[in-house]
Amino acid sequence: MSTLNQSTAREPIFDPAERRGGKRKVLLTHADIELSDSEILSGHAVDISMGGAGLISPVNLKIGQEIAIGMSLMACGMNQRISLSGRVAYCVKVGIDRFRVGLQWIHMDIPTESFIKAVCT
């Protein structure tokens, strides 16, 4: 009978930050979070990349849920309001009425892509 080494039997610890692809820009800006029923929530973006964003939401969002966000960002001396659609990759409660959300962009136009690239560099 063989014994199982406990260190190899453990499940890996899930850390959403480890799944990120691409360079992230840490920030803190107000974000309007629009749900599919057109309800708009007041939240915050805490980071952004070419592949998605990290948000703080006042409500628990479902993994796979599609939402739209709107926020103002600064790059190259320009302040621009962007609106993007994304899919919730994860949502973790971090406080009372506070949820950390990982959002993956569904698609973006070329001007928005260029602007986010400038924000992240």
| φ, ψ dihedrals at 33, nearest 5° | -110, 115
pTM: 0.80
pLDDT of amino acid 23: 82
Instruction: Dump pLDDT digits (tens) for 60-112.
Output: 999 999 999 999 999 888 899 999 999 999 999 999 999 999 999 998 999 99
**Residues in contact with 53: Cβ distance below 8 Å, sequence separation at least 6, in sequence order:** 31, 45, 47, 69, 84, 86, 103, 105
**Domains of the chain, CATH where assigned:** 21-120 (2.40.10.220)
